[in-house]
Chain A
Amino acid sequence: QKEVEQDPGPLSVPEGAIVSLNCTYSNSAFQYFMWYRQYSRKGPELLMYTYSSGNKEDGRFTAQVDKSSKYISLFIRDSQPSDSATYLCAMTKNSNSGYALNFGKGTSLLVTP
């Protein structure tokens, strides 16, 4: 079983919809959780970062972590066509510099005008 599972989609929503993107994981040692956004033919860029459980909000984006369920979510409010991209979750156990991130496969999102 892969340590991080993410539904690849594609997910298509109309402009203005609330989008929910999710990842599950199996390793209870993961403590640091990230969401990256990747536009077509570009490298991923960091969108949100959370430590341990709880919520974090940044504009239209909310990241949520439920460690008891090993489940993380990214919510996008008032979605825009410019939000169309692939969203990758990532996580790791430790802030030690030697640890690499564990990525989900990414969910492709299309927001239609």
Chain B
Amino acid sequence: DVKVTQSSRYLVKRTGEKVFLECVQDMDHENMFWYRQDPGLGLRLIYFSYDVKMKEKGDIPEGYSVSREKKERFSLILESASTNQTSMYLCASRDRGSLNEQFFGPGTRLTVL
């Protein structure tokens, strides 16, 4: 079974802190994604990566950056957390050519105070 794991299920940070969200997948997938999910807004794509050291902006990249130094790991970075970044963050991975099989992690509920 594909497994996508995220470093924390719940995280509380203060405004202005630098926040790292880690995602690891164990199936050698090329593509990895970061979404945020908010009530009434659904899933919104922040960034995605289709290879090591490659990244593409999604729909809402402002205030975020990403890092993909190894194939299995995709990190989301909030350089200076703000209260409007309080959200559920979901990581996903997908094999190249397997369009339909996008696997999600369990999510990290981030609260910024």
Taking Cβ atoms with an 8 Å cutoff, the residues of A that contact B are: 6, 8, 32, 34, 41-46, 49, 88, 90, 92, 95, 97-101, 103-106
The count of residues in chain B whose C-beta lies closer than 8 Å to any C-beta of chain A is 27
CB atoms of B100 and A105 under 8 A apart: no
B104 nearest CB neighbor, chain A only: A43
The A/B interface has a contact count, at CB < 8 Å, of: 56
In the complex, which residues of chain A have a beta carbon less than 8 angstroms from the beta carbon of B105? 43
Nearest CB on B from A33, distance (A) = 9
Within 8 A of A (CB), among B62-100: 90, 92, 94, 96-97, 99-100
Taking Cβ atoms with an 8 Å cutoff, the residues of B that contact A are: 4, 30-31, 33, 40-43, 45, 48, 50, 56, 58, 90, 92, 94, 96-97, 99-107
Say whether, besides A43-B106, A97-B30, A100-B33, A88 and B42 are in contact (CB < 8 Å).
yes
In the complex, which residues of chain A have a beta carbon less than 8 angstroms from the beta carbon of B43? 44, 88, 103, 105-106
